Amino acid sequence: MESMTDAPIKITKTTASKLEQVDFSNLTFGKNFTDHMFVCDYKNGEWQTPEIVPYGPITMEPSAKVFHYGQAVFEGMKAFKDDNDDVFLFRPKDNLDRINKSAKRMAIPAFPESYFMEGLQALLNLDRNWIKAGAGNSLYIRPFVIATESGVSASPSSSYRFMIICAPANAYYKGEVKVLFAEKYSRSADGGVGYAKAAGNYGAQFFPTSLAQAEGFQQIIWTDAKTHEYLEEAGTMNIFFRVNDTLLTAPISDRILDGITRKSLIQIAEDKGIDVQVRPVSVKEIVEAAKNGSLKEIFGAGTAATINPISGFGHKGETFDLPKLESSYASNFKKELMAIQYNTKDDPYGWRHKV
C-alpha cells in the first residue's frame, strides 16, 4: 500500500508485521528492528524524495565508497511512551544538528530538517506499537548516512543514502560496568574526528576494548592521545566523576562527542545547585580521590546507555572499587531525566517533543 504525507514522503507499508515475534521482556540491545525504515538518497547534488518502506536488506555495489573509506556517520536517539500512549522524542533537533556536524567533517552533504523531522514522525506513527510504555522501555532510533557511489578512488562520494532504522530497547549494559583507563591506545586526536559520530570512531575501539574485556573490564575510558593524563570519554558514553559532592566532566573538544545526555545532565545538576566543574579531569586526581575515599561515583551518560553507574576502574595494574551508595547522583539524575522523557513531570527545558 502506498501513500504520500504532507511532506513529500512516499510510504509503502509492510503486509507482514514482525511485532508478534518479538519477546519484549527479553530484548538484546539493537537486535530486533521494527517493521519499517526511512530511506532517502542523495544524487545529482540533492536529496531525493524520502521513502518509508518495509525494513529489509538493501543492495549496494561492492565498490561503494562506504566499504572502502568508511564515509559514514550516524546518530542515536530514543522515543518513549507514556501511560496515555503518547510518544515523545528527546531533543530530536539536537540529533539532526549533530549528524549534520558529523556529516560536514566527513564531507557528506547536510540532511534537510523537514525531511528528518517529518520522516521520524511518519516512521514512528507507523511503528508506534513497537514502543512500550513503562520506565526503561524505549525505541532506539538509529539515523545514519552512507556513501553509495561506486568506485574506489579515494575521494568523497557523489551519492549517499540517509536511513533511519528503529529497535525496541531497554538496558544497553546488563550487569556491572568496570572501566579501564586507556594508557596505550587512543580514540581520537586533536584535529581528528573524535567529536563526530563517524562510524570508524566506533570500529576502531573494538580491538582495544576486547583487550580490556579479557582483563575483566567492560569498557575503556579514553584518555587524551598526547599524554594519556586526562580522562575524556568512554566511546559509548560521556563520563562523569563525583568527588565529594562536586561533579566533574571533561569539556567537549575536537576529541570528545557533544553528548545530548551529557549536556542535559549538566543542566539538571546545575539546577539542583550542584557544583559542576566542566574542565580537564586528570587520571592523577581521580586515582588520588579513589585512594583517599573522596571519589564517590563514576557514571557514563549516553543515549543508548542512559546513565550507567561504573562499579570500579583499573589503572596501571591496580583496580579500584567504587562505594555502593544508597542515594547516588547517577540514580537521582536518571530519575529526573526519565521523568522528563516519559512525561511524568513538567519539562521546564522544552526537551520533550511529542510525536
Binding site for ligand COI (CB under 6 A): 76, 202, 236, 302-305
- Coil, strand or helix at 269: helix
| Closer residue to ligand COI in complex, CB, 286/305 | 305
Shortest spacing between CB 304 and ligand COI, in angstroms: 3
CA distance 177 to 234: 11
Nearest residue to 251 (alpha-carbon basis) of 221, 222, 280 = 280
Largest CA distance in the chain: 66
**In whole angstroms, what is the distance from residue 10 CA to residue 201 CA?**
33
Q: Which is nearer to ligand COI, 262 or 296 (CB)?
A: 262
Q: Which helix (H) or strand (E) holds 98?
A: helix 92-105
Residue 276 or 305 having the CB closest to ligand COI: 305
Q: Give the residue among 204, 154, 163, 212 at the shortest CA–CA distance from 47.
A: 163
Q: How far is residue 263 CA from its own chain's centroid?
A: 13
Q: How far is the CB of 140 from ligand COI (least distance, A)?
A: 7
Minimum distance, C-beta of residue 12 to ligand COI, in the bound complex (Å): 27
The closest residue (CB) to ligand COI is 76
Nearest to 327 by CA among 297, 290, 303, 300: 297
CA 44/CA 259 separation, integer angstroms: 33
What minimum distance in Å lies between the beta carbon of 76 and ligand COI?
2
* List of residues 6+ apart from 238 with CB closer than 8 A: 249, 250, 256, 257, 259, 261, 262, 300, 301, 302
In 3D space, the residue among 229, 230, 210 whose CA is nearest the CA of residue 220 turns out to be 210
Nearer to ligand COI, 149 or 300 (CB): 300
Query: Least distance in Å: CB of 141 to ligand COI?
Result: 9
Least separation in angstroms between CB 305 and ligand COI = 6
Is the CB of 95 or the CB of 343 nearer to ligand COI?
Answer: 95
Shortest gap between Cβ of 86 and ligand COI (angstroms)?
A: 23
**Locate cell 562523569: which residue?**
240
Which residues are within 8 A (CB) of 143 and not within 5 positions of it... i.e. 6 or more apart? 38, 74, 75, 77, 95, 99, 116, 162, 163, 164
Least distance to ligand COI, CB of residue 339, Å: 20
In the complex with ligand COI, which residue's Cβ is closer, 269 or 305? 305
Nearer to ligand COI, 157 or 236 (CB): 236
Nearer to ligand COI, 243 or 250 (CB): 250
